[in-house]
Amino acid sequence: MSDLSNLRRIRQDLHRYPELSGHEHETADWVRRLLEPLNPDAIVSGVGGAGLLAVFNGRQTGPTTLIRCELDALPITETGERRYRSTREGCAHACGHDGHMTIVIGVAEILQAQRPHTGRVILLFQPAEEDGHGARRVFNDDAFAPFKPDYAFALHNVPGLPLGEVFTRPGPFNCASRGLIIRLTGKTSHAAHPEDGVSPAPALAQLMAALPGLPATFDATVWVTLVHARMGEKAFGTAPGEAVLMATLRSETNEAMTALSDKACALAREAADNAGLAVAFEWEDDFLASVNSESGFEAVANACREIGLPCHRMPDAFRWSEDFGVFTLHAEGAMLGLGAGNIHPQLHNPDYDFPDELIPAGREIFVTIIRQINGLPLAN
């Protein structure tokens, strides 16, 4: 079993060489080289892209427990002078996925010596979490089909919360979100004769005012955030015929997201029809809500109780999104937040760095959950 100093070295090595969503092949190869000496019963590569599974079988039949971490980094230029800062300009582990991977590698080290009594444990190093594609691609990959879990757990570090304390809840843990792109198409004309064209300006202005007001029409908790608008180019002789509006839709539940998406598109169709425009929709960064089952929540709470970590039952879900909800849609389980410190750079900030002090706490939470579900022999 690695001591903390070795796991810290692994984490900092991973930090130096980040890769963006969909391009994590070097990271996956590196993780594979770390896992091979730990003798899992199987290592499956190329799942859902660069995804990697490490399988540890028990001696008897029983449930499959999945522990998931993420491979990808962000398109952010890191600041600061730490000796292990990113070597790749414009790419950094500014969300802590290097730390999450290290925690799960630490779990693999324990499973090397303490195989589960029953069932099996699947350690998933998942690609493309940041863009919302990874979990779906993994889950729908034929290579993953034999390993679909009965239980699934993951964690995320959370700056602004007390270091090493756990925050979770049954029900929605973090929000569904979708990036909506609305394209309005009319007819371009000479700026001297705008009446000869069909301008998207009235519809664009109407939607910019109306979309942020949609949450007031819901009983459920939802948000609409305008993130981009563009009409035409810098050409004073042209009355533009096209416009684009982008918004992030967010909700605590998947059901509310469906209703919010439908209402947003209906508003856009109505505005376009009234102005004589064509309208088209595109969706990006599509995340389901991560919803914790009651038994998953209890497993986390019981693990924290056993190892003496404070575990707080959150009154509300986190507003940020995570694609782990794909797994808890089909399995019992939970996601938990692990406090990264009250005073710590926020996620996606250029000066963010994962606190290495969280590695043993995260590892012990996962190992204790595995012991609850699959059984593990006591360490020598």
pTM, to two decimals: 0.93
- Residues with Cβ < 8 Å from 353, sequence gap 6 or more? 15, 80, 82, 345
Domain segments of the chain as ranges: 4-172+289-374, 176-287
Alpha helical stretches, state H, the chain = 4-16, 25-35, 97-113, 134-140, 201-210, 254-275, 294-307, 325-328, 358-374
DSSP category for residue 227 = E
Q: Rounded to an integer, what distance in angstroms lies between the CA atom of residue 256 and that of residue 223?
A: 10
Instruction: Tell the CATH topology of 4-172+289-374.
Output: Aminopeptidase (3.40.630)
DSSP category for residue 345 = P
Q: Are 366 and 185 in contact (CB under 8 A)?
A: no
The pLDDT value given to residue 80:
87
Tokens of 370: 């595995």
CA-to-CA separations, 281 to 203, 243, 268, 284, in angstroms, rounded: 15, 12, 9, 10
Tokens of 286: 């599509």
The pLDDT value given to residue 1:
45
Q: Are 100 and 125 in contact (CB under 8 A)?
A: no
Sign of the dihedral through C-alpha 71, 324, 57, 145: negative
The pLDDT value given to residue 33:
98
Express each pLDDT in 88-142 by its tens digit: 999 999 999 999 999 999 999 999 999 999 999 999 999 999 999 999 999 999 9
Share of the chain above pLDDT 90, in %: 97
Based on its alpha-carbon atoms, the radius of gyration of the chain, rounded to whole angstroms, reads 23
- Residues with Cβ < 8 Å from 185, sequence gap 6 or more? 200, 241, 242, 277, 278, 279, 280
CATH number of the domain at 176-287, please? Answer: 3.30.70.360
Q: Rounded to an integer, what distance in angstroms lies between the CA atom of residue 228 and that of residue 279?
A: 17
Q: What phi, psi does 147 have (nearest 5°)?
A: -115, 10
- CB-count burial class (<10 Å; 0-12, 13-18, 19+) for 216: exposed
The pLDDT value given to residue 74:
98
Q: What phi, psi does 71 have (nearest 5°)?
A: -95, -25
The pLDDT value given to residue 114:
95
Query: Following CA atoms 187, 279, 249, 327 in sequence, which dihedral angle do they give, to the nearest 10 degrees?
Result: -140
> Does 176-287 match 4-172+289-374 at the fold level?
no
Beta bridge partner(s), residue 92: 74
Beta strands 166-168 and 311-313: pairing type?
A: parallel
Express each pLDDT in 3-13 by its tens digit: 789 999 999 99
In this prediction, the residues of the chain whose per-residue pLDDT falls under 70 are 1-2, 378-380
- Count of all residues that appear for the chain in the document: 380
